[in-house]
Amino acid sequence: MLDFYCAKARLAVEIDGIAHDMGDRPQRDLRRTEWLEAQRITLIRIPASDLARNFDEAADALIRTAIEMAAATTPTTALRAVPLPRFAGEDR
């Protein structure tokens, strides 16, 4: 399970504690990362120890990243002129 996910930015966040270094977890994490990347989802892994040391800085960086990624994937909604189709027998 992901710790956080922002659908608009296609950004997943994993907070990795010490358990991620044990047993088959490294291989499972690698398979999951590969699957997410195949779905065009970016995964950011943050060691829990780093988060505990400086939570505010990590949270700010994640928010900035999500905003930037969401803006990059949002289609443009700018208005533009589109010529109307011509129909048979119509004079313009």
Domain boundaries, the chain: 4-73
Query: What's residue 18's pLDDT?
Result: 76
Q: Average pLDDT of 47-61?
A: 87
More confident residue, 77 or 22: 22
Mean pLDDT of 36-54: 88
Return the structure tokens found at 81.
Answer: 């002129």
Query: What is the helix (H) or strand (E) element at residue 64, kind and residue range?
Result: helix 55-73
Residue 10: closest CA among 74, 70, 61 = 70
DSSP H or E stretch at residue 4:
strand 4-6
Whether pLDDT at 77 is above 50: no
Question: CA 68 to CA 73: how far, in whole Å?
Answer: 9
* Higher-pLDDT residue of 60, 19: 60
